[in-house]
Amino acid sequence: MKRLTLITLVLAFVVIQLGAFTRLTDAGLGCPDWPGCYGFLTVPSAEHVAVAEARYPERPVEAAKAWAEMVHRYVAGALGLMILALALLALKTPGPKRLPWALVGLVVFQAALGMWTVTLNLLPVVVMGHLLGGFAIFSLLFLLWLRQKPNELDLNPLKVLALTALVVLVGQIMLGGWTSANYAALVCTQLPICEGEWLQNLAPAQAFQPLPPPADSYEFGVLDYPARMTIHVSHRIGAVLTTVVLALLWWRLRGSGAQRPAAVLGALLLLQLALGIANVVGSLPLPVAVAHNGGAALLLLALVWINYLAWRTPRLA
């Protein structure tokens, strides 16, 4: 059970990174239908392109984008089957029972979000929800794995700070997802904040409305520059706040003698900051942007681990 959980956890990380690659290469509508692709089970072959484009004349076949989308779906489907296997295995083995089945329910909802991402033409709130769903599955799989091993540390005195740090990080991940879903990652090209008179152009009401103006498609974004700039600046300000809170937690962890969690948290925080700066300086290079997404997922796991140590009674093997 423990080994299968770990394998499933690794596969979940792969799915998250494939999702980021699909989103960042503008391949979210590489297949305009769901769950197939232009009415086929796989990307249309050369002899089927004409049929596919007749079915969806508004979206000519782009094989590279279609394959990116379908590979993501195939691997996500495999992940769903593995999580179902975990839930069935949990019925026959000692250990957590409810969490594996909660994961099954979350996978079903995540599949629905994947469908709505396509059928609603990349509606930002759905795209962000799909990203958060992937992160939630990843986190709960990690929690399931933690529950199957000894808990050797007692971080109970830090539980309030640890929970605060987790909430702040989740908020920052939501801002990052909203930035990506609204194609706002490149609207500010200078550091530390944004070029021009950004303060006078802030438009929070437009930037954070759950439902944007109606559009045939939300691919490449529909918000104007002030709204996108507001989203981008908010994500940068959130990064500063998140850094301060997580750095404080790192300092307290070191003071409490929890050197390993402190080292992991500090290393991931520095890596994520470096990747964020590199995204701005390099105008969102694809490998760096995908790595930034993965760094956020790993940083989230670090906070889940620290909260697990802080909120549960230590138990030995």
Transcribe 246-283 into DSSP letters: HHHHHHHHHHTT-HHHHHHHHHHHHHHHHHHHHHHHTT
C-alpha of 200 from chain center = 31
8 Å CB contact between 247 and 269: yes
- Residue 69 falls in the annotated catalytic set: yes
What are the CA-CA distances from residue 189 to residues 160, 287, 290 (Å)?
Answer: 36, 18, 18
Count other C-beta atoms under 10 Å from residue 52's C-beta: 23
Active-site choice (53, 62, 69, 195): 69
Burial degree of 218 (CB within 10 A; 0-12, 13-18, 19+): buried
Going by C-alpha positions, the residue among 142, 141, 204 that lies closest to residue 175 is: 204
The residues carrying an active-site annotation are 69
